[in-house]
Amino acid sequence: MINGRFEEETGQEISVLPPVMALFEHMADENGADGEMLLPFAFEETLCRDVGAGAVLPSLHLWSHPGGVVLGLRDSKLPCAAQAMDRLERRGIRTAVRHSGGAAVPLDAGIVNVSLVLPKSRGKLDFHADFRLLASLITEAVAVSHPEAAACIRAGEIVGSYCPGDFDLAIGGRKFCGIAQRRQSEAYFVHAFVVVSGSGRERGEQIRSFYEAAAAGDQELSYPRVRPETIAGLGELGGPDTSLLFTAGIKEAAMRRGVELVSAAALREKSGYTLDFREPRVLEAARVLRERYAQG
């Protein structure tokens, strides 16, 4: 049992998902796609406030971006970060600085972002339980279509990967997923990027090149020393090789846990709640994030 393996390896129990969750999807190859880098993050910031206020169900958000690089706050403080970002923009690669934890990562249609947006529980102190929850859900999603690959997934920092962390997910020592978290006063979201299709090495090269340019050759600076060979897509590792297959696995994994997923359209019909990338509240949140976390 996959949950059992995660519990055995960590020695701690995994949190459970709420019995009913709203489902929002903004995939790059669908009509939810948009080139503006901060809209998905602004959407989740707004959704998180609504979840905390009880205006909407706890939520699952699945999204991808057609092409960009998103930085962590520390990355944006590197001496030549602004010039390195401008260089990417001139190549048609959008850039932004995100407010959740972590370091620089690429975004494209072959990378699926998975976020759990949940209300805070009183007295809850184990933040890592939510990382384990999302890690186990992603493993179960892989198992829906590729159980042999899922059985090989391990959690733990992959040194040399981009955005390294304690809850990197890897197969055979090659990372395909990283997890970060953002907390508000009444709710929070746990977010994972999952490299599904395409070359992990090429994405690693992109981030390595960014850091080399942003650091201007200063080896004394603190930033991830990316080794591209440590990154791989799930399709390269014997797992699902399309975003469609992986997102179907995520939804199936949630339902196998007994979760009822309520689509955005059904939510609007049942309760009147609506939220999308072009709503004024989301656009305003994007503006605030852009100003607050601008590079430089």
In a domain, residue 151? The reply is yes
Domains in the chain, number: 1
pLDDT at position 2 over 90: no
The answer to whether 253 and 134 have CB atoms below 8 angstroms apart is no
**For the chain, percent of residues with pLDDT exceeding 70:** 90
Q: How confident is the model at residue 126 (pLDDT cuts 50, 70, 90)?
A: low
Residue 206 has pLDDT above 60, yes or no: yes
Return the structure tokens found at 257.
């846990």
Query: What does the pLDDT average to over 39-59?
Result: 96
What is the per-residue pLDDT for 284? 96
Is 295 inside a domain boundary? no
Whole-number Cα distances in Å, 283 to 3, 24, 44, 280: 38, 17, 12, 5
User: What is the CATH number for 214?
Assistant: 3.30.930.10
Write out pLDDT tens, residues 216-237.
988 899 999 999 999 999 999 9
Q: Is residue 225 part of a domain?
A: yes
Residue 104: alpha-carbon gap to chain centroid? 12
Please say if the pLDDT value at position 9 is more than 70.
no
pLDDT at 124: 57
The pLDDT of residue 125 is above 90: no
Q: Is residue 234 in some structural domain?
A: yes
Flag whether pLDDT at 246 surpasses 60.
Answer: yes
Q: How confident is the model over 171-185, as pLDDT tens digits?
A: 999 999 999 888 888
Question: Would you call 246 exposed, middle or buried from its count of C-beta atoms within 10 A (0-12, 13-18, 19+)?
Answer: buried
- Looking at residue 11, what is its pLDDT? 47
Cut 0.85: pTM above it = yes
Confidence of residue 14 (pLDDT cuts 50, 70, 90): low
Task: Tell the residue number behind the tokens 């390269």, with chain if given.
Answer: 236
Q: What is the pLDDT of residue 182?
A: 87
Q: Which of 48, 152, 163, 177 is catalytic?
A: 163
Asked if residue 210 belongs to a domain, the reply is: yes
In a domain, 136, yes or no: yes
The answer to whether 152 is a known catalytic residue is: no
- Strands in 94-97's sheet, in edge-to-edge order, are 94-97, 67-71, 105-108
Does residue 156 form part of some domain?
yes
Quick one: pLDDT at residue 128? 82
Residue 277's domain comprises 2-285
Residue 31: which pLDDT band, with cuts at 50, 70 and 90?
very low
Q: 290 lies in a domain?
A: no
Q: E strands, the chain, where?
A: 20-26, 59-63, 67-71, 94-97, 105-108, 111-119, 153-155, 169-171, 174-183, 187-195, 260-263
